[in-house]
Chains A and B, each alone.
Chain A
Amino acid sequence: MKISLVINGKDHEIDIDPGQYLLEVLRDLGYKSVRRSCNSASCGSCTVLLNGAPVLSCSTFAVSVDGQSIETVEGLSEGDRLHPIQEAILEEGGAQCGYCIPGIVLTGEALIRENPEPSDEDIRLALNGNLCRCTGYEPQNRAIKKAAELLRSDRDD
């Protein structure tokens, strides 16, 4: 089947099998930041933004999002400049093995877009579906809070 996807602002026309999940399709197109860690929609590692909302690409059939806009973490940073969430994660030590990070960055970004001043509880709730086994969560939560402040002050400037 032929579908079109807008990924990080770029148009893609692709030929896929009807049963293919968005996760595989994205990886085949080279977006390797989108990762599989489980088979039960339970870990968040495969999170992408669909029209701005965090969804699980492992459980989304590619055909069902024909014509829609997808964001992966590759689209968040340009050249050598990192997105504030990415920078904050590095500063706070929020990435150890890094496997969960793309999902966390995207979900964090979606949260901040919807709620520019998220509280600690807001952050925990919004990212409760992004599991991390390495860090114990604290540095990532701090990083998102920090990035939200930075983005607010950037806007206010």
Chain B
Amino acid sequence: MLSNVSEYFRPRTVEEAFTIMESDRDHSIFLSGGTIVALMESSRIERIIDLKALRLDTVSLKGDELVIGATTTIESFRKDNLVRKEFGDFFYESLSCVGSWQIRNMATIGGSIAPKLGWSDVSACLLAVGANLMVYGADGYRRMVLSDYFTLPAGEKPLITHIMISRDGWLSAFKKFSKTTFDIATVNVALSIKSESGRIKSARVVCGSRPQYPVRFEVVESALEDLKINEVMPSIVRSLVFDNFAGGSNMLASFEYRKHLASVMAQRAAERIMEMM
């Protein structure tokens, strides 16, 4: 609960939103879906900057890229006709168990990425499809790779305005392990494969909720290059992920369990991709 809110802003432009934030970062927070803010206990935050009025809630196709407004809700994103046309059921199914229906109606794509949540299924899936972000910062608009956003230095906090995903012929699958069905992931894995002549041309291997934020495992990705896509492939993916997993322990699971689970989820994601071929 934010117990000390005294001002509520509804900026109409991105520039305005950013300026308001910069004028008192310490006591301000961007509000998108509200579900993350709901989990916060703070008496320091006094100013809410509501991004909904920016109307960054549309999905459109620009050339080869799907451009998603940052305040698009998870539910409208996954059900969007364009998204389903370009990406099949990948987002529709993968994001079907994010929180609850209510949470999916509130939480936004941008709002899932911005706080660098460890457990965000959205972030893991977007990383696996090679998403890029459009952000607005002190130097104006710039485009950046999603994984770079997670490693920005602490002082740099640009505002995410759009998420861009290109239709690049990859096949993707997502697997999540959680204690109950209305729960954050104990660990999640998103896998994308681009195939050519029965072999893996390239792969994106993402593990999230490690418990840290999702990352791509480049070592695994390189090892998978040129691998024959056959019945052994998923178990190779599994042992590669097992050997290279990086993460930690917390209340939900020990590192060893996460490592094991991630490898199993990776194998199952690979099996799913093979089913789709």
Q: Which residues of A contact B (CB under 8 A)?
A: 1, 17-19, 39-42, 44, 47, 50, 53-56, 58-61, 63-64, 107, 125-131
Contact = CB atoms under 8 A, between A and B. Distances in A.
Given A61-B48, A125-B96, A18 B8 contact: yes
Nearest to A54: B102
B102 A19 contact: no
Interface stretch (B18-26, B35-43, B198-206, B250-258): B35-43
A60 B106 contact: yes
For A41, A63, A129, the residue with the greatest tally of chain B CB atoms inside 10 Å of its CB is: A41
Given A19-B8, A56-B38, 17 more contacts: A18-B5, A18-B7, A19-B3, A44-B100, A54-B101, A55-B102, A55-B105, A56-B106, A59-B35, A60-B106, A63-B8, A64-B31, A125-B96, A126-B101, A128-B100, A128-B182, A129-B101
Interface string B94-110: 00100111110110000
Nearest to A59: B38
A109 B228 CA distance: 50
B101 A61 contact: no
Contacts of B2: 19
Contacts of B31: 61, 64
A18 B45 CA distance: 12
Interface in B77-113: 96, 99-103, 105-106
14 contacts: A40-B38, A41-B102, A41-B103, A50-B105, A53-B75, A56-B103, A59-B34, A61-B34, A63-B8, A63-B10, A63-B50, A107-B102, A126-B101, A128-B101
B34 A44 contact: no
Contact of B102 (A18, A44, A61): A44
A111 B32 CA distance: 24
Contacts of A126: 101
Contacts of B52: 64
B104 to A, nearest CB: 9
B35 A125 contact: no
Nearest to B73: A53
Interface in B180-201: 181-182
B1 interface: yes
B97 to A, nearest CB: 8
A131 B181 CA distance: 12
B102 A56 contact: yes
Contacts of A56: 35, 38, 102-103, 106
For B48, B75, B96, B103, the residue with the greatest tally of chain A CB atoms inside 10 Å of its CB is: B103
A58 B102 contact: no
B48 A40 contact: no
Contacts of B151: none
A42 B37 contact: no
B106 A18 contact: no
A80 to B, nearest CB: 30
B6 interface: yes
B38 A129 contact: no
Contacts of B182: 42, 128-129, 131
B142 to A, nearest CB: 28
Nearest to A39: B1
Contact of B34 (A39, A60, A107, A129): A60
A56 B35 CA distance: 9
A107 B35 CA distance: 18
Q: 7 closest Cβ contacts across the A-B interface?
A: A129-B100, A19-B5, A59-B38, A18-B8, A53-B105, A41-B38, A63-B8
B106 A128 contact: no
Contacts of B37: 59
A129 B50 contact: no
A63 B39 CA distance: 18
Nearest to B1: A39
Contacts of A42: 182
B222 interface: no
For B48, B75, B103, B105, the residue with the greatest tally of chain A CB atoms inside 10 Å of its CB is: B105
B178 interface: no
